[in-house]
Amino acid sequence: MADSYRGVFGAIPYAIRHTDSWTMRVYGVVGALAAALISLVVTLALVVWMGETAEMDSGLFLFSRSLYVIAGFAAVAPLIAPMLFVARRHRRDDPVADNYDRVLAYTGFVFLVSLYVGMVISAPADLRDPSGSVIVNALYALPPLAGLVPPVLAGTLVFVAHRRLRRPDATDSDAVGSDAGSSVDRPAAEPEVGVDDDSRTVNMETEGNDPNVAADGDSATANPETGRPTRSE
């Protein structure tokens, strides 16, 4: 296919070009920049951390580095997932709901906000600036591990929205299915059997096989008054 893309780096501009939603186009730019910034920060932090713990051969540090990489990937994947879903949808021309692109862009923005909320909750005490906001103080009061909850919920929302909207509305499909089922269940009307014609045929055959009539060889003429045949001697 000539109008296609290769890899993640080609899918993002492909989604921005082919989507009809301006919300998705804006998110494509914002989400791509945010994903690039997070990837850069995670990479630099990992390099510094590896330099500080290079002389330590403990397996705990090796596990911590791997876990750090997984955490960075978990932060970037839901950011670029809406753009990847939209790019694949337009490339394959998959049947989706009319608001598929716009809703996925909204879920991407929600995940971006959830990352900020998670960083506020898990920020160390010496890095927390005093604030007069009730919301910020409430986030500071939460335990640091609670900072994982908002990104996890928002990331799940991205994939749930993709699953729910990648096909047309359920009401339309149910209506089509019910019409198809009714047409299948309803058998075709069978032609009515001509009982009168069959009875006439049987009567004619029995009269033709009657030995008395065959022996006499009489000809029958129709009575104009009754319409019944009369025997002529």
Structure tokens at 8: 């993640």
Predicted confidence (pLDDT) at residue 228 exceeds the cutoff of 70: no
Cα–Cα distance, 37 to 65 (Å, whole number)? 19
Q: What's the pLDDT at 73? A: 85
Q: Which of 8-17, 57-66, 99-108 shows the lowest per-residue confidence on average (mean pLDDT)? A: 57-66
Burial (Cβ within 10 Å: 0-12, 13-18, ≥19) of residue 66? exposed
Predicted confidence (pLDDT) at residue 35 exceeds the cutoff of 60: yes
Q: What's the pLDDT at 41? A: 87
Between 37 and 172, residue with greater pLDDT? 37
Between 58 and 156, residue with greater pLDDT? 156
Report the SS3 class of residue 42: helix
Backbone angles phi, psi at 156, to 5 degrees: -65, -35
State the Cα torsion 85-86-88-92 to the nearest 10°. 130
Q: What's the pLDDT at 29? A: 95
How do residues 187-225 score in pLDDT, each as one tens digit? 444 544 444 444 454 454 444 444 444 444 444 455 555
Report the SS3 class of residue 175: helix
Between 125 and 10, residue with greater pLDDT? 10
Strand-pairing partners, residue 229, are 222
How do residues 97-154 score in pLDDT, each as one tens digit? 889 999 999 999 999 999 999 988 988 888 787 777 888 888 888 998 898 999 999 9
Cα–Cα distance, 48 to 34 (Å, whole number)? 21
Distances in Å between the alpha carbon of 180 and those of 121, 135, 177, 185? 54, 54, 5, 9
Q: What's the pLDDT at 150? A: 93
How do residues 138-181 score in pLDDT, each as one tens digit? 888 899 889 899 999 999 999 999 999 976 544 444 444 444 44
Strand-pairing partners, residue 230, are 221
Query: In angstroms, how far is CA 9 from the centroid of its own chain?
Result: 24
Cα–Cα distance, 158 to 78 (Å, whole number)? 7
State the Cα torsion 149-154-155-158 to the nearest 10°. 160
**Annotated domain spans of the chain:** 7-169
Between 113 and 1, residue with greater pLDDT? 113
Distances in Å between the alpha carbon of 143 and those of 65, 74, 75, 182, 202? 23, 21, 20, 58, 97
Strand-pairing partners, residue 231, are 220
Report the SS3 class of residue 25: helix
Cα–Cα distance, 171 to 139 (Å, whole number)? 41
